[in-house]
Structures are given as C-alpha cells and as structure tokens.
Amino acid sequence: MREPESAVIRLCQELNEATKLKKNGRSIKFTNNATNTNIPIDSWKFLEWDYGKESIKLPIQARGLFTVNDDTIAVRGYDKFFNVDEKPFTKEKEIIRSTTGPYDVTLKENGCIIFISGLKSGDIIVCSKHSTGDRDQLGRNHAKQGEIQLLEQLGKEKVSQLAKYLYEENLTVVAELCDDEFEEHVLPYPKDKSGLYVHGLNYNTILFNTVPIAQVNEFSEKWGFKSVQFLTFDDSRKLFTFLHQCSETGTYNGREVEGFVIRCHRDNQDFFFKYKFEQPYLLYRQFRECTKEYISGTPIHSVRIRKNKEITRKYLEFVEELFTKSPEFKTEFENGHGIIKVRQLFLENLHESNGMKLLELDTLLSKQMKDLNLDPVVKYVFVPVATIGCGKTTVFNTLSLLFPNWIHIQNDNIAKKAKLKITDLTLKALDNNPVVLFDRNNSASRERKQIFDTIDQKRHTFIDDEVEIRYIAVNFIGNDVSEKQLWDITFNRVKKRGDNHQSIKPDADEDLVKSIMKGFIQRFQPLDITKGPDSAFDHVINLKLTEQGSSSLENVKIIIDDMHKKFPDLIPNKPSEELINEKFNEALNYKPTFIKDMTNGSQKRAKDPTYYGISMNYAKIIESLTSHIKTHEQFIKLQQRNYVQDEFHVTLGHVASAKGEKKKQWKDLVSKLGPGSGEDKQQRSMLEFSADVKLLQFVINQDKLICIKVEIIKIYGKDGTILDIVPMNTHNHVTIGCFPPTKAFESNVALEELYREDSGLKSDGVYHCGNDTLEVINLKEEFILEYQKLFAAYQ
C-alpha cells in the first residue's frame, strides 16, 4: 500500500504553507539527517491542542510524521487518539453508537514512543516522536537510544534486513521503549522486562491505515521484538464493562497498568481511543512532582498538594527521612532516577504492594482527621486568566451579588500607592469569608506564580494555619480563540463600554487604551496545568469568549454549575434562573466610584526605568527549546527544579551598567525610548516600539545557566521607521534559567568569556573558558521572532 507521489507532494506543500501560520493549524518543521547518512529527513508536528478539533482542518492527523524530498512519507505515527470522555466523539455513549468491532484491547506500555522504518537507500531510520539522528551531545536522545536498543535486540544483520522489508512494504513500526536505566516513567521495568515493545504497524499513507494487532504480534515474534498483550471484544458494552472493572483496581491480571488502547473502526476507517486509569497513576505522579518541589527547597509544610493530601503528606515525611539517612537517593532523584524505587520503599514501609491501597489509606486518614476535628477549613480563591475586556468584572460582580459572602476584590480599585496590595486584601477577606474573587487579569504566568508565592509567604500573618486554600483558575480565553479574535472581541467590548471603567477610558484617550490592551495581549500566556506555576491550581473552569450574545451571563452559569457539581458544600443549592438574570443585569449597571490614573505618571516625576528590554514570545521560545534541547540533561534539571524563567526577554540596557563609556548609551536609550509609565515597582510599561529578533545558538554553562545568543535585526519606531538603537550588552541573549546561586546577568559574563577571542558564531561543541565548561548548540534552522514589544521596567 503506497501513496501516489502527487498526493504526498500536495501534503508537503500544505505542511510548508502551515508553517507560516501564527496559531491555529500551524505546523512546525525540523530537518535533520538520518543516522549514519546524508539523507535529510523533515519532521512535522502541530500544536497538541490543534489535533481532533472540528474547527481546525489539519492536512494530516498523524502524531509523528517524517518525509523525504517533499514527495515520500518515510515514517508515520498513529492519528492522535484521545481518552474516553476527553472529546465529544470519545464519550462512552458516542463510542458505543458510532464505532464497530472487533474491539482489540492492548495494554498501554509505559515508556517513550519509537518509530522504525526503512529508507530507499537500504538504511534503517529510527525516530522519537518528532526527531531523528544525532542531536544533543550530553542530553537524552530518545531516537538514538531506540536505535541502540534495536541493534541490541535484533543484531546488525537483522536490522539491515528489517530496513529493506519495511521500505518494500511501506510500513512504520510503532514501538514503546521501556528501559528504567535510560528513563523512568510511572511503572517499573526491570532489566528482564526492558526493551522495545511493538504495538503497531502503520502504512506510510496520508489516511491512517494500520495492521491488525494479531498480525503485529506475529511480526514482533518473527523479528525479535517484545509483544504487547491484547484481548478482543465483539460487543462495545461488554468492552466497557471490562474496562470499568479493571479501573477499580488499576490492574490487569494482577499487574499494575496505566490503561488500555482500544482499536476499532469508525466510518469504515481505523479508529483508536484510550482508557487510562485515573488512579493510582495520578497519585504516583503527584508523589514525583511533590518530591521535586521538596528537593528544590520548598519545606514540606509548604509543598502544594492538590489531591489525596494525607497520604501524600505521609509520603513526603518518609522521603524527608529517607533523603536525610541516604542522600544518594536524593541525588538519583534529582537526575531522574530512583523515582520508582523511592515510591516502592514507601509502599514497603506501609506493608503494601498496590497503589490503590494507598488511596484507601488516604480516605481512612482523612476520616480520622475529621473525627478528631482536625480537618482543615477550606477556602477558595478564584483566579481569572484573562486580558482586558473578557468580562471578568461583570462575571465576578454577578457572583458576589448572588453570594454575598463571596468577596470581590478588584485590582483596579486599589490605588498605586496603597500599602496593602490585592494579595494582602485577599488574605484579610479569607479570614472571615469562604471565597475571594481575585479580580486581576493574570495574563502572564509570572503573575499567576506571584499569587501563589505571595499568599504562601504572607498567609500566616492573616489567617490560621488550619485553613486550607484552594485555587480555582477561571480561564476566560480558550485555546481555540485566535489572537485576532481576542483583539476584535475585547476591543469592541471596551469601546462599547466607553469610560465606565476605573482605568480604561477609550472615549478620553483611545490610543492609550489600545497601547495598554495590546500590551496585555502581547504578554498573554495560555493556562497550562501540565507545568508550574499553573499546575498549582486545584481546579480549572473553562469559560467562553464570543462576539455574539452575552457570553458573560453564560459564563456565570458555567461557574455556578461547575462549582455546584465539584464543590457542593460551597454551593449546595443553585440560584434560580430568574435570580441569576436579575443579578447579572444589576452587575451590568455597575458604575465605578474609584478612578485609577493610567496616564504616563512617570512624566510628572520624570522617573527613568531600571532597564529596557524586548519581551519575547514565551511560546515561541519554548518551541525552540522543545526542538533543540528538550532532552538535554541540564534543561531537564532546570525544569525539574522549576528554574526555567516565567518570562523571557532580551535586555537592551540596564541602569546599573551606565558607567564610564556606557553612560552615554544609557542616556541615548532613555531619550529615544522614553520613560514609560513607571506604574509601580512590580510592573512594566509596554512601549510603542517593537523588534525583530533572530535566535542563533544555545549556550549551556554546566550546572549554572542556559541562555540563547540572539541577534537584534531591527527595532521599529511608533510609525514603523527603523530606529538606530545600540544595545548596551556586547552579546544579546535570552536567559532561559539559572541554578542558584547563579544570577541572570551571568549569561552575559559567560558569553563574553566564550567570545573573548572570536566574535564569529561558535560551532556545536564544548568549550573550556576559565573555570567554566560551556556547551554550544546551534539552531538547525532560521528562527526569527518578529515585532516583539519593547518595555521599560521598574525594580
């Protein structure tokens, strides 16, 4: 089964066109040579949240796609498949209605995905999800490890035969690399169980076509791979009875498993979905993440525990004692090893073998706390993730009118010079009330982090220790809202509202309002609960943002329905439709009595900024990291210890450097860029200037920092003209993160050492500079971020 060349050419044309998109449907291309060849292989991927959306038409749904010469599919993964209830088409009732059997159920092995295929040249090609060939010198390279394992399992001669067979049959082998010595996941794989488990054979076609699992297992046995277990159901209802029974214990045939992948047909096409067990794997992951937080320096009593609090506290107490007595376990954990061993030691300490027993113990411990009246009082902080004009104040006003003991605190009602800031007022309100509606945009992740950090630091001043604070993220901006839609909807709303707002006055000064709103949208970082700081939220409520109708009224109802279902103690009885409508109309008639000055107050006091910078698109920088050093051990360490910066910028000049010859440069910056607004010590003023910035190469200073050397191509003035601005740093860069006690300014020191005798770009490799070992990794393709906003910062 082979695709016509013309069809693949059209596909590659569509994929290349999609690389030019800014958001929905954008494809990301990475080119690298297959191992031991000069054959360039193009890897293609889309943003995770674009898969499976009816509103986004992707050229192909493959998750894992590699092409050669823009006319041949060399490697093809599965179509992205989803968990039961994750999408409308994977609801249990919809699966029963729309799919046909047989239903082949395979165990979900717990490793990393590996693709294997053959090239026309006769060479084997081994890929991870999105890369192949030689990449990082020091970090984990999943594709290379997969190739090593393949040669170990099959031998060189058989691998060569396999390459020819796969090319002739136009097939991709889909395998799971399970090897705890290489990389631990959630479930253990001792040495005798390690290896490549083959669970799929896909034809390299645009439409998803895969070989039945029984034939896949025959292939595995013939070639020397490990096989996955499977069983078959003809009836979908019997299938779900079996799945629900297994989920009660988290096991199959007495073995802990993460879940199952189910293969069937829909609309006469191959269709996959998965059934993942929620527990005990969420608990295991929480153990891992809480341990990382503890290792990073957070005291046990301050570690954020989202669920199963009592058993996790008990686990952390065990970890603290274990790491004190046997520090080698802590060292291993820091390097991504021994994670499963520590968990198993904890289970042995409790004389248990199954994680589901831990959940039972957690329930028992929680009951004992209640019986002793030690159960903490629970209070809630609602934290919006929004930009100006999303309707958060209207929504929160309505909620506070419906529930009088839900305290609505508006950042816009707090004067700039007020001693008590919004977090202080939140804690004071929580002392006597169950809920605080924290009315601030929180568009950047660093602002969300500030909430968690500040409340944790100050809570003991205002509220009792037994009070448990739960953070509810109220997400006003979904991933399906484009930047243009966000601007059109919010600006139209703000303009329609006129000057009926504490700080945003479009009737009085539309240009200022546009500048402020664009600044918020530029800084906006979508909610991502898979990593810090957003992983600290206890619950997320996703709202709607639409142009038509009253999405704010609908959002009020969404919040009430969600909280009533999730936290019935807080809303035991929902208000009537009539009452909700009445209070919503009352909220619409709200008139601010406090006016916040958003004009350029710094001009009155002529205060200069501390530094100027270029605010870099966070998602784009993360994309470059993912493409180049995601598996590098130093980057993994930064992530594990939460040392990756919450925002990225290029410093144009800092007042601390304004000495000697550089004093004139600083004055030149201030005269050309102006003082900004200088609102307060924590805030930045977005300026009406922008820059095009090219990413050049990563520089990694072992156990100190990671930065990206960049080139500032152009800086644009307010009218689009190109400005003559000379940055004060010799080597422009973005600091990705630092290991304490290293500070961000040391990125500049490292680059000056690296380029002391040679100003040209360094080649990939390791360089010894004084006492430091610096590794250079060049970007494999041109990476330019256009129209990045400049800002003035006050610290």
> Catalytic residues, which ones?
108
**329: helix, strand or coil:** helix
Please give the Cα distance from 155 to 219 (Å, whole number): 16
Please give the Cα distance from 232 to 229 (Å, whole number): 11
Q: Which of 75, 73, 79, 71 is nearest to 128 (CA)?
A: 75
Please give the Cα distance from 661 to 667 (Å, whole number): 11
Query: Is the distance from CB of 204 to CB of 79 less than 8 angstroms?
Result: no
Task: Please give the full DSSP string across 554-612, using - where no structure is assigned.
Answer: HHHHHHHHHHHHH-TTT-SSPPPHHHHHHHHHHHHT---------S-THHHHTPPPSEE
Residues facing residue 539 across a β-bridge: 472
Which residue is listed with tokens 């152009």? 714
Please give the Cα distance from 248 to 722 (Å, whole number): 64
Three-state DSSP string of 480-498: CCCHHHHHHHHHHHHHHHC
Q: Give the side-chain half-sphere CA count within 13 A for 566.
A: 13
Helix axes 327-334, 309-325, angle to 10 degrees: 110
Please give the Cα distance from 196 to 685 (Å, whole number): 53
Q: Which of 616, 669, 626, 624 is nearest to 647 (CA)?
A: 616
Please give the Cα distance from 376 to 360 (Å, whole number): 20
Please give the Cα distance from 515 to 552 (Å, whole number): 24
List own/partner pairs for 410-413 with CB under 8 A and 24 or more apart. Answer: 410/439, 410/440, 410/502, 411/439, 411/440, 412/439, 412/501, 412/502, 412/503, 412/592, 412/594, 412/596, 413/502, 413/592, 413/594, 413/596
Please give the Cα distance from 194 to 608 (Å, whole number): 61
Burial zone of 576 (CB within 10 Å; 0-12 exposed, 13-18 middle, 19+ buried)? exposed
Task: Please give the full DSSP string across 512-566, using - where no structure is assigned.
Answer: HHHHHHHHHHHH-----TTSTTGGG-SEEEE----SSS-HHHHHHHHHHHHHHHH
Q: Which of 279, 276, 158 is nearest to 219 (CA)?
A: 158
**Buried-state track 481-495, b at ≥16 Cβ within 10 A, e below 16:** beeebbbebbbebbe
DSSP 328: H
What count of other Cβ atoms lies within 10 Å of the Cβ of residue 589? 8
Taking the CA atoms of the chain, what radius of gyration do you get in angstroms? Answer: 28
Sign of the CA dihedral with 47 first, then 49, 52, and 55 last: negative
Pairing of strands 65-68, 40-46: antiparallel
Please give the Cα distance from 532 to 334 (Å, whole number): 17
Residues facing residue 202 across a β-bridge: 172, 210
Q: Give the side-chain half-sphere CA count within 13 A for 561.
A: 9
Query: Is the distance from CB of 574 to CB of 560 less than 8 angstroms?
Result: yes
Amino acid type, 190? P
